[in-house]
Structure 1
């Protein structure tokens, strides 16, 4: 029996993040007798790396997980040596797909020299962290357009941000939307009632957000919006609740902000959830005031669940698939966001399956396309 083609995906880790979730959705749809995914991740201490969210599932699907030390700039020489050692031992991949674009210009050329025929850099974000870290990231990405065989991006904005303004004119450029397992998110009123009862929020108006606690997500502004909305709903004798799904290093400052606003009982920190699709059902309005994004799969998921969405105008227009999405500037007062939500709070949830599918966001269709790419190396 012929062995499957093996594709190596490079990530910082395999925790419950947007890019990781999208690749796992794709992985589940692959014909794994023909194509298998392996993962190269990074850790502070390679030997002491702790298992992450997707470790067990990856292994159950037949994938392998390899580990490199984290890149810290000052360990440039050691990092390059670790890359060379890795690809010297593991070079039987048909393709390397680097979702960690901050260092892709380092590991893709090494993979190529080791005999791996195709290197892909995959842009997932249209911005960088603030400060020195962001500056270094931009500098490291400068050679990518020349060093990768293909430059994938989840949106036009992400491609231009990561690969430069000339990216769109390059033959290497491919826009690959963040497709989702669409059928899981379709509005389910029975699940909505069940989960709202479990959470004790049956009679509440529920604002939802899904995302890690990170600078990009702008939770500080989200809380300002919710605080204003909470007061407006109180005047209508309705309790407003903010449902926050996600985890991350930035959670504690947000907890302190919630406490300062006196909203401890009405802001629910849910952490990461395996059944995130069920929580969209429990929400009434999805609010996403990010400072920057590539193409947030969470906004696609929310639309699939029939939710009205109010999102930052910093986010690509490509994610506004249907009439449910309203863009607004995060430079505007938070009260303006709250006012819009209050004025549009009541609406009928609809089945958006066909609309989202026709827009190209169904992972089953994307999986078929990617299987062809992985087999031929041609888009």
Structure 2
């Protein structure tokens, strides 16, 4: 008989997609730092017609990736494939975790309860609705809240703000969006090399990292940069985010760049795997989001000692360093532009100790997550 205390926990993670964003960064950093003698992750790709981020790395490590066709493409096949995965792996998984930005999809946890997975975790990564909340969506969210109350028995959130938004008065654990802090340490040599590679010289360099979506508010970002460029013509804006498919938001960004005559100073860099180096090259990170859970990008920027300007709709929990500023969206693009021009700082340094003390060291936080999942399993089995 296997000693329950020494048994390796098998966890099924849901939420990794093909678009490199906060959830994907959170999951892969945690995956890389797991104590594989105690716990291991497999993944379900719920848009299985595409590969997920880091798929080769995950498979090379020996973990599995199950593919399910997108529910928007073929809902019946989506649910049938989910059913078969859990049927064929009944009794294999001890934990299922749904990482989500909304309550429009909770089916994996419902199915997890039906198939007897002991620990069923909902992890809130956001603090606002991406889609317009018409009657149909409100009804769906209302029904899913009831299903969630029945199916989930452990709640995580990336911040107090994200937890209160999704869970109200229900208890939850804040799981920090921890990173490999030293990977982002300020380094003047890396800065010079990366700026040279990007063809940058003395320009004031603004950076934004995020998918093209309503939440990220790119349209206002371009209004801000137009103001920056008027004050300081020697300036550029780097936009990091997936550009492989046109969307209404990416199309609007391209239209506005052309309308403002900024084609030569706004650069669409697409998806990048070297964001840590691009942050070294930048002078300020600008995020005028309508809402955020607790953005990993904001933690990465502060780890690289990069001045960060955020909308005041973002949780103040993200303000770890004095160089991080919160500005109202209602202040208008001119106020933002002036704050950006005045925010550049020199002699950036390592911020490891501050971020570690705040709970953002990936090693420490991964150990904490492991303990929470293992303890929950032992309590329930």
TM-score by length of 1: 0.90
The residue aligned with 1:246 is 241
**1:105–1:140 CA contact under 8 A, matched in 2:** no
* SS of match in other structure, 1:377: helix
The residue aligned with 2:113 is 112
**1:9–1:98 CA contact under 8 A, matched in 2:** yes
* SS of match in other structure, 2:68: strand
Partners of 2:137 and 2:25 in 1: how far apart?
Answer: 24
TM-score by length of 2: 0.89
* SS of match in other structure, 2:228: helix
Partners of 2:326 and 2:283 in 1: how far apart?
Answer: 17
CA 1:109–1:346 in 2, change beyond 3 Å: closer, same or farther? closer
Partners of 2:159 and 2:357 in 1: how far apart?
Answer: 17
* SS of match in other structure, 2:169: helix
Residue by residue over 1:260-279, the C-alpha shift from the partner in whole angstroms, topping out at 9 and shown as x without a partner, is: 11011101111111111000
The residue aligned with 1:374 is 373
Gaps of 5+ in 2: none
CA 1:217–1:26 in 2, change beyond 3 Å: closer, same or farther? same
What pairs up with 1:212-361 in 2 under 5 angstroms? Answer: 212-234=211-233, 239-247=234-242, 249=247, 250-361=249-360
1:138 is the counterpart of 2:141: yes
The residue aligned with 2:127 is 126
* SS of match in other structure, 1:213: coil
Q: How many residues align?
A: 365
Alpha-carbon offset, residue 305 of structure 1: 0.5
CA 1:35–1:197 in 2, change beyond 3 Å: closer, same or farther? same
Residue by residue over 1:17-49, the C-alpha shift from the partner in whole angstroms, topping out at 9 and shown as x without a partner, is: 211111100000012243221111212xx5xx2
What pairs up with 1:44-123 in 2 under 5 angstroms? Answer: 46=48, 49-72=49-72, 75=75, 79-91=78-90, 92-100=92-100, 102=103, 105-123=106-124
* SS of match in other structure, 2:200: coil
**2:211–2:242 CA contact under 8 A, matched in 1:** yes
CA 1:313–1:272 in 2, change beyond 3 Å: closer, same or farther? same
Alpha-carbon offset, residue 138 of structure 1: 3.2
Residue by residue over 1:228-264, the C-alpha shift from the partner in whole angstroms, topping out at 9 and shown as x without a partner, is: 0011013xxxx10101111153323211211111011
Over the aligned positions, Cα root-mean-square deviation in angstroms equals 2.3
The residue aligned with 1:38 is 42
CA 1:341–1:188 in 2, change beyond 3 Å: closer, same or farther? same
Gaps of 5+ in 1: none
CA 1:38–1:58 in 2, change beyond 3 Å: closer, same or farther? same
CA 1:175–1:253 in 2, change beyond 3 Å: closer, same or farther? same
Partners of 1:141 and 1:205 in 2: how far apart?
Answer: 47
